[in-house]
Chain A
Amino acid sequence: ETGVTQSPTHLIKTRGQQVTLRCSSQSGHNTVSWYQQALGQGPQFIFQYYREEENGRGNFPPRFSGLQFPNYSSELNVNALELDDSALYLCASSGLYGRSTDTQYFGPGTRLTVL
């Protein structure tokens, strides 16, 4: 177990709705990264938060947004849900310095289904 937790485990939404996913990082880690994993694919980087600020972003539209809190937990928000947003959303926590070479430890993920 990595110590990274995510909630909820599963979620079903309809097109156009909004969703908030949550992540608690491993003790001692202050960096959180979010990934989207479509069925049968590798995870794709959405963005990273370091010390409560966005520290880098992948190729995802602005309707994907996030927050990091003073205790380093994080939220991923997705607005105007589309069918293609159905995926496993993974949170990973790492290091103390927000470096891209810090080892990332993943949580179990949240399975989002958009109908």
Chain B
Amino acid sequence: GESVGLHLPTLSVQEGDNSIINCAYSNSASDYFIWYKQESGKGPQFIIDIRSNMDKRQGQRVTVLLNKTVKHLSLQIAATQPGDSAVYFCAENTGGGGADGLTFGKGTHLIIQP
């Protein structure tokens, strides 16, 4: 079946470097994508979202890129800090008439090296 997935389960970066977390999706009907951050013992925290009529969106220290041609989504975190250590999930929604809920990938564990 169609699903959202991530390329790497773990990503280790040096503090201060930029981080790039990737996500592939296969549902061509998806038109809304979200990145969530989940720290240990907590619920997912909204980071940034993007709709399919855009290819880039920026927030505070974060940028999401969407390439619909290859069905790829990425999250860039600038100047990574220790507090960025968490599991990052991409999620998609088809935006259809019914409530299909969000489809999540398995997550990427971002580890910040001092």
- Of residues 41 to 93 in B, which have CB atoms within 8 Å of A's CB atoms? 41-46, 49, 51, 89, 91, 93
A41:B43 contact, CB within 8 angstroms: no
B52 to nearest A CB, angstroms? 10
- Of residues 14 to 63 in B, which have CB atoms within 8 Å of A's CB atoms? 31-32, 34, 36, 41-46, 49, 51
In the assembly, what is the distance between CA of A90 and CA of B34, in Å? 17
In the assembly, what is the distance between CA of A104 and CA of B112, in Å? 27
In the assembly, what is the distance between CA of A40 and CA of B106, in Å? 7
Q: Which of B42, B45, B94, B106 contacts A100 (CB 8 A)?
A: B94
Chain A residue numbers with a CB within 8 Å of B49 are 103
A103:B34 contact, CB within 8 angstroms: yes
Chain A residue numbers with a CB within 8 Å of B96 are 100
Chain B residue numbers with a CB within 8 Å of A103 are 34, 46, 49
Chain B residue numbers with a CB within 8 Å of A4 are 43
In the assembly, what is the distance between CA of A4 and CA of B46, in Å? 13
Q: Which of A42, A47, A106 contacts B43 (CB 8 A)?
A: A106
A: contact size bracket: 20 to 34
Chain A residue numbers with a CB within 8 Å of B104 are 42-44
B44 to nearest A CB, angstroms? 5
B100:A107 contact, CB within 8 angstroms: no
B20 to nearest A CB, angstroms? 19
Q: Name the residue on A nearest B109 (C-beta).
A: A40
B5 to nearest A CB, angstroms? 10
A51 to nearest B CB, angstroms? 12
Q: Which of B43, B93, B99, B105 contacts A55 (CB 8 A)?
A: B99
B98:A55 contact, CB within 8 angstroms: yes
> Chain B: residues with CB nearer than 8 A to chain A?
31-32, 34, 36, 41-46, 49, 51, 89, 91, 93-96, 98-107
Beyond the given pairs A100-B32, A106-B44, A106-B46, 10 more chain A to chain B contacts, judged by CB atoms under 8 angstroms and listed by A's residue number, are A2-B43, A40-B106, A43-B44, A43-B102, A47-B101, A55-B98, A100-B98, A101-B95, A107-B43, A109-B43
